[in-house]
Structure 1
Amino acid sequence: MNQTQFIERLPKVELHLHIEGTLEPEMMFSLAQRNNIQLPFATPEAVKAAYEFTNLQSFLDIYYQGANVLIHEQDFYDLTWAYMLHCQQDNVIHTEIFFDPQTHTARGVEFATVVNGIDRALQDAQQQLGITSRLIMCFLRHLDEQSAFETLEQAMPHQDKIIAIGLDSSELGHPPEKFERVFAKAREAGFLTVAHAGEEGPVSNITGSVTLLNVSRVDHGVRCSDDAQLVAELAQMAMPLTVCPLSNTKLKVFAEMEQHNIVELLRQGVKVTINSDDPAYFGGYMNDNFLAVAASHQLTQQELTQFTRNAIEASFISEQEKHALTAQLEEFMRQYFGH
Structure 2
Amino acid sequence: MDLDTFVRALPKAELHLHIEGTLEPELMFALAARNRIALPWKSVEETRAAYAFSDLQSFLDLYYAGAAALCHEQDFFELAMAYFARAHADGVVHAELFFDPQTHTARGVAFETVLDGLERACRAAQARYGISSRLILCFLRHLSEDEGFAALEAAQPHLARLHGVGLDSSEKGHPPAKFVRLFARCRELGLHLVAHAGEEGPPAYIVEALELLGVERIDHGVRAAEDPALLARLAREQVPLTVCPLSNVKLRVFPNLAAHNLKALLDAGLKVTINSDDPAYFGGYIAQNYIDTAEALGLSRGELKRIARNSLEAAFVTEAERAPWLRRLATLPD
Could you say which TM-score interval applies, normalised by the shorter chain?
Answer: over 0.9
TM-score between both structures, scaled by the size of structure 1:
0.97
Partner in structure 1 of residue 242 of structure 2: 242
Partner in structure 1 of residue 75 of structure 2: 75
In the alignment, is residue 220 of structure 1 matched against residue 207 of structure 2?
Answer: no
Contact between 2:97 and 2:136, CA under 8 Å: does it hold in 1?
A: yes
User: In structure 2, what is the Cα distance between the partners aligned to 1:285 and 1:41?
Assistant: 24
Instruction: Give how far 1:324 is off.
Output: 2.1
Instruction: Give how far 1:275 is off.
Output: 0.2
Deviations 1:141-177 (A, max 9, x none): 0000110001111111112221001000000000011
TM-score between both structures, scaled by the size of structure 2:
0.99
User: In structure 2, what is the Cα distance between the partners aligned to 1:3 and 1:110?
Assistant: 44
In the alignment, is residue 266 of structure 1 matched against residue 266 of structure 2?
Answer: yes
Task: Please list every run of 5 or more consecutive structure 1 residues that lacks an aligned counterpart in the other structure.
Answer: none
Q: CA RMSD in A?
A: 0.9
SS at match of 2:98: strand
SS at match of 2:68: helix
In the alignment, is residue 192 of structure 1 matched against residue 192 of structure 2?
Answer: yes
Partner in structure 1 of residue 183 of structure 2: 183
Partner in structure 2 of residue 10 of structure 1: 10
Matches within 5 A, 1:1-339: 1-331=1-331, 333=332, 336=333
Instruction: Give how far 1:2 is off.
Output: 2.3
Tell me the amino acid that sits aligned with residue 76 of structure 2. F
Contact between 2:294 and 2:300, CA under 8 Å: does it hold in 1?
A: no
Instruction: Give how far 1:26 is off.
Output: 0.1
Deviations 1:233-290 (A, max 9, x none): 1000010000000000000000011110111111111000000000000000011101
Moved over 3 A (4+): none
Instruction: Give how far 1:7 is off.
Output: 1.5
User: In structure 1, what is the Cα distance between the partners aligned to 2:126 and 2:300?
Assistant: 31
Instruction: Give how far 1:204 is off.
Output: 0.6
Deviations 1:78-114 (A, max 9, x none): 0000000011111111111100000000000000000
Contact between 2:77 and 2:118, CA under 8 Å: does it hold in 1?
A: yes
User: In structure 1, what is the Cα distance between the partners aligned to 2:290 and 2:253?
Assistant: 18
Percent of aligned positions that are identical: 54
Tell me the amino acid that sits aligned with residue 214 of structure 1. G
Instruction: Give how far 1:229 is off.
Output: 1.4
Tell me the amino acid that sits aligned with residue 279 of structure 1. P
Deviations 1:211-242 (A, max 9, x none): 00000100000000001111111000010000
User: In structure 1, what is the Cα distance between the partners aligned to 2:105 and 2:119?
Assistant: 17
Tell me the amino acid that sits aligned with residue 103 of structure 1. T
Deviations 1:186-221 (A, max 9, x none): 110111100000000011100000000000100000
User: In structure 2, what is the Cα distance between the partners aligned to 1:324 and 1:135?
Assistant: 22
